[in-house]
Structures are given as structure tokens and as C-alpha cells.
Amino acid sequence: DTEVTQTPKHLVMGMTNKKSLKCEQHMGHRAMYWYKQKAKKPPELMFVYSYEKLSINESVPSRFSPECPNSSLLNLHLHALQPEDSALYLCASSRLFGTTNEKLFFGSGTQLSVL
Amino acid sequence: GNSVTQMEGPVTLSEEAFLTINCTYTATGYPSLFWYVQYPGEGLQLLLKATKADDKGSNKGFEATYRKETTSFHLEKGSVQVSDSAVYFCALSDYSGGSNYKLTFGKGTLLTVNP
């Protein structure tokens, strides 16, 4: 199994809603990532978890709250988002974090629209 | 800091044409270099990588050679197919201080192959 599975595929939410994005991998990878991708732009790193501990937070607003409950799961909790947060949210995993030649495996993403 | 510059798209080719997508980089250390591909509606997939100077990465008929003297990692394919239509991202992974190993993406190049 070389897949990273993200749910839901599409999400529409209002600015007062609370929702969560989910990501799962069963490759035994110990590093998991959240990226944000706006249309026709490259992915931007948001968070990195290594061995279930938050290693990198790229100064992301607190309305985005990541959680890594175990080595296979990664969540992104969303609260009080703004319309400009509408984007494709990509989850990725890699065997380890901390070497330059790690291959990242990406999920298909959650297309989020904030109304 | 690190940066990746790739040729502006979109690139439109006929089937069986030769493809080159230029990529140059700036890095402070000894980066690994990658090409990722994103098909419509999907996440990114690793296409090929090279981890040191003069290494050649290859996959599915695509090739790229890590040229330290010209700080380049150009993507080539001898005969493109309609199924190669996608967005191609050049990326580098380097140590950016502390415990940070960051993947830096270029802006992406949209390739359309017509039958």
C-alpha cells in the first residue's frame, strides 16, 4: 500500500463552522505534512510532524490546528476560516524527516471552499 | 535562501514531440533535486530525483541531470504522449537550519500535449 488517503475530497464551509480534514497512510512513514496549494501555484508547507511530534509550523494562523493522534493519522482542524483560506489542502508523508533525499508521497487533497 | 526557477508555461506540444522544461536553482548547501508531476485533480507524484552532482534521474521516459556547474536540473523527454499532460514542479530539498529540511518548489509548468 503506497497510498496517502485524504477525506473529504471536497468541503464547503461557512466562516463560523468547525470542520476537520483527515489523512491516513499505512506505509510505516514517521513524517507527515500538511501543504496548502492555491490554484496555479506550488504547494506551500504548513506543518510537519515527525514521530507524532510537531516539528515545523510555518507561522500558520491559529485557525488551523493540526493533530497527529498516531503514526498513521494526521488531522487538520479548521475554525473561523476566511474566504482567502479556500485552497487545495494536501497531505504528504515520508519515511523519515530530516534528510534531504526523502521522497514525499502526496494524497489527492481536499478542495476547500470557505463562503 | 533557497530558490527554484523554472520556465514559465504553459507549454503546448504535439504528440511525439521533444520536451524540455528548464529548471535552475539557488541553494546554500548540497541539495537533492526533484521533479514532481501533478495530474489534473490529483496530488503530486515524484517523477524522478537526483541527490548529487552529475546524477541522472530517470522514470517513464523522462530524464534530468544534476548539473552543479550550471545549477540546473532540466527535465527532458524524447517523445511526449497525451497522457503526459500535467503540471510539472521542479523542487530542491536542503538543510535550512536547526532541524529544518525544507522542500522548495518552483512555480510549476503546465504541459499540454495534443494528439
How far away is chain B from the Cα of A99, in angstroms, using its nearest Cα? 7
- Cell reading at B109: 509548468
* Interatomic CA distance for residues A113 and B54, integer angstroms: 44
How do residues A36-72 score in pLDDT, each as one tens digit?
999 989 999 999 999 999 998 999 999 999 999 999 9
Cα–Cα distances (Å) from B112 to A60, A61, A69, B5, B38, in that order, read: 34, 36, 41, 20, 12
How do residues B26-51 score in pLDDT, each as one tens digit?
988 789 999 999 999 899 999 999 99
**Residues of B whose CB is below 8 A from A109:** 42-43
Q: How confident is the model at residue A101 (pLDDT cuts 50, 70, 90)?
A: confident
- Closest chain B residue to A102, measured at CA: B93
Mutate to test the interface with B, among A100, A102, A104, A110 (most CBs of B within 10 A): A100
**Residues of A whose CB is below 8 A from B37:** none
